[in-house]
Amino acid sequence: MEKLVIFGSSWSEGEWGPCGDVGLQITHPGIAEYLSDSYKVVNFSKSGSSLWQILYALHNYCNMSFIDREDATVPAKIIVFQNDPFISTLSEKFDVDYQKIFQECVDVNALYQMLAEMFYIKLSEIQAKYNIDVYLCGAISDVDPRLVAYCPGLKVLCESWVKLLDPAHTPSLIPLNWYRDTLPIVRSYGRMDLCEEIIDISDRNFKDLQARLECKYIGIQFGDYHPNRQGHEILANHIKDYFRKIKQ
């Protein structure tokens, strides 16, 4: 069996369900289970991880030479799920200067594009250093294939998980569900113009988000914006089909 190693945040951890009155907990392992009939799966996804925490986990995994220690003849495929590029935790580990990026961006789209581009560059450096197969999958934020094209070592496995579940979705780096600390952080950088734009975009997204929360593939309780186990199974089948096609 080939090995798939998954890195991401809460979306790729599994299905989330109620825990008490207000909390959530993992109720099903999701794609890890649905892929396990065809692959040996290791899932390092962790709820709340920034893109930089995901990179750091991948770097540590590669650096400690855990890839295929049991059988060096069977290559591992790395699947990285794209979280919200806005979250800056551990960005300093990769010399990513959020203050400079905020100063140079002209609008919200440019901000997210600059952050995503930096993430792809840093991910491609790890890919090249360790000569690993890295596949990107859209999650909270969709993958931008145009930017990934400048990093030839990276492959787009799924541009948008949301679009797999809802064909009406238009892929975008800007997630429908904003990171809760977005506005306070933007204010701290003195970009009130971005705050106003974020509020406008958020208002436009609200109706789309409400409709999507009623989708049979999204969260089993109101306010849970994660794919449920059926949504995970759809993605797992997409992943199997993708790797089956590239083998042919």
Tens of pLDDT, residues 102-125: 999 999 999 999 999 999 999 999
Closest CA to 175 of 79, 46, 81: 81
Contacts of 40 (CB under 8 A, 6+ apart): 1, 2, 3, 4
Output the pLDDT for position 13.
94
Contact 35, 240 (CB under 8 A): yes
Give me the half-sphere count of Cα atoms (radius 13 Å) on the Cβ side of residue 16.
22
**Residue 214 above 90 pLDDT?**
no
Read off the pLDDT of each residue in 146-163 and give the average, rounded to a whole number: 95
Main-chain dihedrals φ then ψ at residue 15, nearest 5 degrees: -80, 140
Q: Which domains does the chain have, with CATH numbers?
A: 3-247 (3.40.50)
Question: Which residues sit opposite 19 in a β-bridge?
Answer: 23
**Tokens matching residue 188:** 């701290």
| pLDDT tens by residue, 32-86 | 999 999 999 999 999 999 999 999 999 999 887 655 555 544 468 999 999 999 9
